[in-house]
Amino acid sequence: MARGALADNLAALNALSALSALSPKGVVSGVVARERTLPVLPAFADLLPHGAIQRGSVIGCHGAACVSLALALAAGPSREGAWVGIAGLPHVGVAAAVELGVAPERLVLVAEPVATAQSMGQRFDDARWAEVLAAMIDGFDVLVLGPGTQRVHTGTARRLMARLQARGAVAIVVGHPAVGQAAPQRAGGPFGADLTLHADGTEWAGLGHGHGVARGRRSVVQVAGRRVPRPRRTHLWLPTAEGCVATVQQQGAVVPLRPTG
């Protein structure tokens, strides 16, 4: 499959489910599904329960840096061989995902039809999203789901999440940047959420008053949820000037992520 392949029609979307045949465990990567967790980048090790992502779980990401946060969470599994599918985020491209550590050779972007002179570009309805997301759950270890996917009905979302749990995949649901800290059960929209991460308090390094170049972004990240007795908080670079995801204290001791060029 081409790097950062963009699936923008039903035939391509249907082909995604066939990819699951590449693994007896029903995931493309071949990552052992009997391992009930997926690894994360070192910056998240002390923030998440057990320093990993639980398979079959839903993680809600909110705040000003919610998209970067979601991609950084997906980067850990991706670097260890997992496949990542992104849907409902039309403004996120391959370069943005790669900058935060996602492996481009195991990344697929799924887009709704775009209006052209020949087509009205009708958006996916509940039935189409159900088909698309079911194929992604069957084919990928990690799904990053934007606001576009959250138009599904509650019953559809419930069936999809049951499928996700059975397959051992993970859904990272991106909320609207302007939304405040939500209750865990609402943080993933119709999909619910086992964990909620909120990235706010964003500061750009390198920018002065009317001058300078943005070289890095600092955010305050807080996690809450049913597996977190007390909310946890840390300061992260999303990313650093060197293209790393790190805690502010780790900045000088992290391994740079893949270059975007």
Domain assignment of residue 144, yes or no: yes
The answer to whether residue 8 scores a pLDDT higher than 60 is: no
Average pLDDT, whole number, for the chain?
A: 79
Report d(CA 20, CA 143) in Å as an integer: 14
Which CATH number belongs to the domain containing residue 136 in this structure?
Answer: 3.40.50.300
Nearest to 71 by CA among 185, 249, 236: 236
Domain assignment of residue 222, yes or no: no
Report d(CA 16, CA 87) in Å as an integer: 13
Domain assignment of residue 233, yes or no: no
Domain assignment of residue 231, yes or no: no
Please spell the DSSP secondary structure of 137-151, one letter per residue: HHH-SEEEE-GGGGG
What pLDDT does 260 receive?
A: 44
The pair phi, psi for residue 113, each rounded to 5°, is -60, 145
Edge-to-edge strand order for the sheet containing 195-207?
Answer: 5-7, 107-110, 84-87, 142-145, 170-174, 58-62, 195-207, 212-225, 228-237, 246-247
Q: Convert the pLDDT of each residue in 142-197 to its tens digit.
A: 999 999 899 899 999 999 999 999 999 999 999 865 444 444 445 568 999 999 99
Q: Which domain holds residue 100?
A: 5-18+36-114+123-199
> What mean pLDDT comes out for the span 71-91?
94
Question: Token match 């979307």: residue?
Answer: 13
Domain assignment of residue 82, yes or no: yes
Domain assignment of residue 92, yes or no: yes
Domain count across the chain? 1
Indicate the pTM of the whole model. Answer: 0.81
The pair phi, psi for residue 119, each rounded to 5°, is -140, 145
> What mean pLDDT comes out for the span 111-121?
64
Domain assignment of residue 182, yes or no: yes
Domain assignment of residue 156, yes or no: yes
Q: Convert the pLDDT of each residue in 197-227 to its tens digit.
A: 999 877 776 545 454 455 678 899 999 988 7
